[in-house]
């Protein structure tokens, strides 16, 4: 058994822009997944994953009622939609990207996964 999993096995996500900052929301499928996310998906982990975007700072916020963490990646969008030369000027695809992040496999994975 692999010792790591895709974040997307226990969470879904959405991202967008706040001016020149990107927001990446990560939503666990349930309470047990949320508790695990809180312990492993830190500001540092997200900062390293998105290092290529050169965020000046990463902030993490909690929305326990929907089992979600919100990450604000400061200055990660080349100055924002009106200045950026990128295709993804507004950080729309960062949510799908973060779901590909590998995280350590939790001891009890099954209850964290989406009910099918």
Strand-pair category, 68-74 with 21-28 = antiparallel
Strand partners, 72: 23, 59
Q: Nearest approach, Cβ of 94 to other proteins (angstroms)?
A: 8
* Euclidean distance between CA atoms 59 and 22, whole angstroms: 11
Q: Nearest approach, Cβ of 23 to other proteins (angstroms)?
A: 6
21 or 107: CB nearest other proteins: 21
7 or 36: CB nearest other proteins: 7
Question: Which residues are near other proteins by CB under 8 A?
Answer: 12-14, 16-21, 23, 25, 27, 50-54, 59, 61-68, 70, 72, 79-83, 85-88, 92-97, 99-100, 114
Q: Nearest approach, Cβ of 14 to other proteins (angstroms)?
A: 4
Buried-state track 72-98, b at ≥16 Cβ within 10 A, e below 16: bbebbbeebeeebeeeebbbeebbebb
């Amino acid at each position: 058994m692999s010792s790591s999993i895709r974040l997307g096995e226990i969470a879904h996500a959405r991202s967008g822009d706040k001016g020149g900052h990107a927001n990446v929301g990560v939503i666990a499928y349930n309470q047990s997944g949320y508790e695990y996310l809180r312990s492993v998906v830190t500001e540092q982990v997200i900062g390293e994953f998105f290092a290529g975007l050169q965020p000046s700072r990463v902030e993490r916020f909690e929305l326990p009622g929907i089992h979600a963490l919100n990450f604000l990646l400061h200055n990660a969008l080349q100055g924002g939609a009106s200045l950026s030369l990128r295709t993804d000027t507004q950080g729309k695809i960062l949510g799908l990207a973060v779901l590909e992040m590998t995280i350590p496999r939790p001891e009890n994975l099954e209850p964290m996964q989406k009910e099918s």
